[in-house]
A and B are shown apart, each in its own frame.
Chain A
Amino acid sequence: MRRVLTTCPYCGVGCGFYLLVGDGETLVGVEPSSEHVVAQGRLCVKGHNAFQFVNHPDRLTEPMVRRNGELKPASWDEALDLVAGRLREIQARRGRNSVAFFSSAKTTNEENYLMMKLARAVFQTNNVDHCARLCHSSTVVGLASTFGSGAMANSISCIDQAGCILVIGSNTTEQHPLIGTRIIQAVDRGARLIVADNRTIRLARMANLHIRCRNGANVAFLNGLMHVIIAEGLENKEFIRERTENYEELKKTVADYPPDKAAGICGVAPEEIITAARMFASADRAMIIYSMGITQHTHGVDNVKSCANLAMLTGNVGRPGAGVNPLRGQNNVQGACDMGALPNVYSGYQKVTDAPVRRKFEEAWGVSDLPADVGVASTTAFDLAAQGELAAAYVMGENPMISHADQTHVRTAMEKLEFLVVQDIFPTATSELADVVLPAASYAEKDGTFTSTERRIQRVRKAIEPVGHSRADWEILCEIATRAGYNGMRYNSPGEVMEEITRVTPIYGGVSFARIDNVGLQWPCPGQDHPGTPVLHVGTFSRGRGLFSPAQYQPPAELPDTEYPFVLSTGRCYFHFHTGTMTRRSRLLDREEPGPYVEIHPEDGKQLGIRNRQWVYVRTRRGEVKTMARLTEAVQRGVLFMPFHFEEAPANRLTINALDPVAKIPEYKICAAQVRVVP
């Protein structure tokens, strides 16, 4: 048996573990790394089971091409030539922006870099995006404008030093389990815990305060906290004076949110807001941890900015045990953003609209005329496809049919495409619609790096050869580039790609496979001698002074009414990951949550005659799904919660494609719904 050190492919915590390789080159287990800086010999249930799906018989093992309406096996040569040829031909006919590329937060940094290079250098379009659009695009925008850097400000280990932790819109023990338990241990040591969440999540059971704000009321809640802090003189005057700007505007805005008013909007008692404000502001070191409950709203950017405002107001930025800490959902969603798999920036958040930056990349890539127009977001891309304005899409390691809002709309859009390429490890609802399916190697079959939520760049190592005839994503992308006539994407290994990344990406400038062999580095790491940066914004913000960016409360896009009286909120459960392609092929995880369900408050169930484990229809203006009722007081009355993992009852058939105007993130957390018993 061999053991290969690698990084977990699930959430963004970035735990290190060893994959156990048995006879016959199949994976036979996971052994935690007792030395890993974050994992410390521990893992969550998904991590302990992160080996089983790899050798699952459902793996895509050979390329497939649609012939006479059916996907049929094809050779790699045929499939690759077809992809390169068709994309070129469509662009020639319908313009360079008629093609869009969907990169993947599940693939490595090197692969994300190559995907954006393929889009930009080879196919001359900035239409490249990935699923960060659906989870933390509000963070990238909101924190970049307030702080200058859209990433987790502090390190995971900072939790150990915090005096007060505000967890808002994050079911941490389920979605970032080893951060969640770190919070539990911090509470044991005396840290105060405030949980602001509509649901009674596990952390709420041990919180000093659990504030069950109405869904979508975060801006009012945070403004209410800041109102109390200023009214009681608890703000950090020195920090505000020395480190920030635009404070007067903030003061003016939050003056309008006295506790009574804020509490009214939030559906809580004014005392809760007052107590929380005092608890947070009086702590020596206070930390904000947030996730999708903040970001997945039509006002997600406002929510993020309000978190940033609160941290600046209390001087909780730029020091250990504090900070604004968005928890990134996928193993490499931080890295996919860092690598510029976004329509407006190259790697390292260098803007495509900036001429000197373009010139730098033109020189590095040996091309001319890189496009200066910002590309389309993945959410908008489906609108364009539905309108017939987008002709082709290349989807790597994503399953938008299950993960994007309003599935019927997504299906219409995909079916309208002239040409759809899907590159994945398993067949998915999206690959069913593809014209070409390219079988990719899993995380266990390739080398590279992932960047965790705390900006830690860590090694991913090849444990076994690619299953069947699958190939690593980076190799496939390079083949496409070469066949499209570009000679600048030939590499012998992902390490060579990383060398190129470090040359053009200042925040990764000092990274090399050799330096991160044992312990990953946290960016910014601009030089070979730079030790990496555990805490951002020390002494000065990335943008100079922190910018207070006050926001007004805005109601969600679709609120309940008499016809659709419930608020439907979507999310994930502990045992599954995203569209379930991997976890539903892992025995114990699948056994634990074998099918779709909707959480309903028992009183609502009683009123509607719905019993526990009874089949129900959940319906919104977009569609209907049949799922199983789970009666639980974890949800408030009038609220339904559904995880989106299950293809047989896709929650995203119900969600609304209402977007934040800047970040273009859909409002997954709120839409109006009805529920009834299946007759």
Chain B
Amino acid sequence: MKAFTDQGLQEFFETLARDYDVLVPIRLHDGTRALGRPGDGVLALGGGLLPRKLTSVFFPQFEAIMAINQSPLRVQSPALKPLFVVGWTAADLDGLEFTDEFFNAHYRDTVYFNKRAGAVIVGLSGWCGENGAFQRIAGGKCDLELIRVGQWHIVRPYSDKGRGLASLLSGGEDVEGSVLEALLEESNRLPQDDQRTLEAASRLLLEGKVPASFWQKIADRCIACTACNLACPTCTCFDVFDLATTDDGLRRWRLWDSCQLDGFAREASGYNPMGEQRVRAYRRIHHKLAADAIRWGHITCYLCGRCDRVCPAGIGITAVCRQMVQEYGKP
């Protein structure tokens, strides 16, 4: 088993750029971390969760999906080079597994799979979290995982593609198996409180034990910034609309939508089954923890933590679930 420094990995990423569209965590102008091409900014593997959901590389905020000019209709074509995306936390990988399932169910979303197909997924875990905190080891669900220990990243491949790519890495330090075992133990020791809270909240919702007044309190605080939806790796709703272009053509766009908006479910007649903010606040949480649990057989919040960070009003999903369980979870 080999481990590599940031420098070694940076060189590896650069060599891959010939065959892949490589995206790695970098530091932007003011220190914000984001996915970017190696060389667009300093490599920033440490620092924890990337603020923007990584699934945005396959399902971006705003993209043209079809164009109509004088020539016949053109649909978005597959990417020239497959993506190589570094930085997925274990929760992100759980989320990715769900979005793959979602975009492939019933109707295969070609716009999503044009980018997703052939993409290499590289997880990031170990002592690479915010302020050096430990980040859960995924142990799968990706092609490669980089597990940080000290200044080193243990490279652990899980798929054939991952093993092939890992074999291209030269140099590095040999690491004893016991080091990885210790890291896995550390990962297993991570507290499960939030997961238990989420499951308890899910049960409360499935059993209909949370009254409307609770959701009114949440709605009173919500300013409908929509950030929870925009940040959530398993939020997949989009709006589709057409806009004329300057060359007399027409382009069809899709844009991340938000169930926290009144217009989200408003019907042409003006009737809106989600016309009250209270109902929308309920919907956001109920959908992930109850409706999806019935439809897909599992909860679709993986506790990535983004909505709690970006919500300016302090009502991200874990905050709401904690409050819910505290108020209604007592036997």
Q: Do A588 and B258 contact each other (CB < 8 Å), given the known contacts A3-B28, A5-B28, A29-B62? A: yes
Per-position binary interface string of chain B over residues 234-271, scored 1 when its CB falls under 8 Å from any chain A CB and 0 otherwise: 00000101011110000001010110011100000010
Q: Do A588 and B263 contact each other (CB < 8 Å), given the known contacts A42-B312, A61-B246, A177-B312? A: yes
Per-position binary interface string of chain B over residues 171-212, scored 1 when its CB falls under 8 Å from any chain A CB and 0 otherwise: 000000000000000000000000000000000000000000
The answer, among A2, A20, A61, A202, for a CB contact under 8 Å with B223, is: A202
Max count, chain B CB within 10 A of own CB: residue among A5, A41, A56, A61: A41
Q: Do A28 and B314 contact each other (CB < 8 Å), given the known contacts A184-B221, A518-B30? A: no
Per-position binary interface string of chain B over residues 10-32, scored 1 when its CB falls under 8 Å from any chain A CB and 0 otherwise: 00000000000000000011111
Interface size in chain B (residues, C-beta < 8 A): 43
Q: Chain A residue with minimal CB distance to B229? A: A48
Q: Do A177 and B223 contact each other (CB < 8 Å), given the known contacts A31-B52, A518-B30, A588-B258? A: yes
> Contact at A31–B263, with CB atoms within 8 Å?
no
- A468: which B residues are within 8 A, CB to CB? 246
- A32: which B residues are within 8 A, CB to CB? 32, 51, 227, 310
Taking CB atoms and an 8 Å cut-off, the chain A residues in 504-528 that contact chain B are: 517-519
The answer, among A29, A185, A517, for a CB contact under 8 Å with B60, is: A29
Q: Bound complex: CA of A429 vs CA of B49, how far in Å?
A: 47
Q: Cβ of B104 < 8 Å from any Cβ of A?
A: no
> Contact at B312–A205, with CB atoms within 8 Å?
no
Q: Cβ of A51 < 8 Å from any Cβ of B?
A: yes
Q: Do A206 and B220 contact each other (CB < 8 Å), given the known contacts A57-B245, A57-B246, A587-B239? A: yes
Q: Bound complex: CA of A468 vs CA of B244, how far in Å?
A: 15
- B30: which A residues are within 8 A, CB to CB? 5, 16, 33, 35-36, 518-519
Q: How far is the CB of B264 from chain A (nearest CB, A)?
A: 9
What 4 A-B pairs have minimum CB-CB distances, sorted nearest first?
A181-B312, A29-B61, A591-B263, A5-B29
Q: How far is the CB of B38 from chain A (nearest CB, A)?
A: 14
Q: Chain A residue with minimal CB distance to B28? A: A3
> Contact at A588–B257, with CB atoms within 8 Å?
yes
> Contact at B60–A28, with CB atoms within 8 Å?
yes
Per-position binary interface string of chain A over residues 167-200, scored 1 when its CB falls under 8 Å from any chain B CB and 0 otherwise: 0000001100110111011001000000000000
Per-position binary interface string of chain A over residues 564-593, scored 1 when its CB falls under 8 Å from any chain B CB and 0 otherwise: 000000000010000000000001100110
Q: Cβ of A613 < 8 Å from any Cβ of B?
A: yes
Hey, which bits of chain B sit against chain A, CB under 8 A? Answer: 28-34, 36, 40, 51-52, 60-63, 220-221, 223-227, 230, 239, 241, 243-246, 253, 255, 257-258, 261-263, 270, 309-314
Q: How far is the CB of B168 from chain A (nearest CB, A)?
A: 26
Given contacts A34-B33, A42-B310, A57-B244, 12 further A-B contacts (CB under 8 A): A3-B29, A32-B32, A42-B311, A45-B226, A45-B261, A47-B225, A48-B227, A174-B223, A181-B223, A587-B255, A592-B262, A594-B263
Q: Chain A residue with minimal CB distance to B260? A: A45
Q: Bound complex: CA of A5 vs CA of B29, how far in Å?
A: 7
Q: How far is the CB of A71 from chain B (nearest CB, A)?
A: 18
> Contact at A3–B226, with CB atoms within 8 Å?
no
The answer, among B29, B225, B244, B270, for a CB contact under 8 Å with A42, is: B225
- B31: which A residues are within 8 A, CB to CB? 35, 518
Q: Cβ of A166 < 8 Å from any Cβ of B?
A: no
Per-position binary interface string of chain A over residues 19-53, scored 1 when its CB falls under 8 Å from any chain B CB and 0 otherwise: 01010000011111111100001111101100110
Q: Do A34 and B263 contact each other (CB < 8 Å), given the known contacts A61-B246, A184-B313? A: no
Q: Cβ of A18 < 8 Å from any Cβ of B?
A: yes
> Contact at B221–A18, with CB atoms within 8 Å?
no
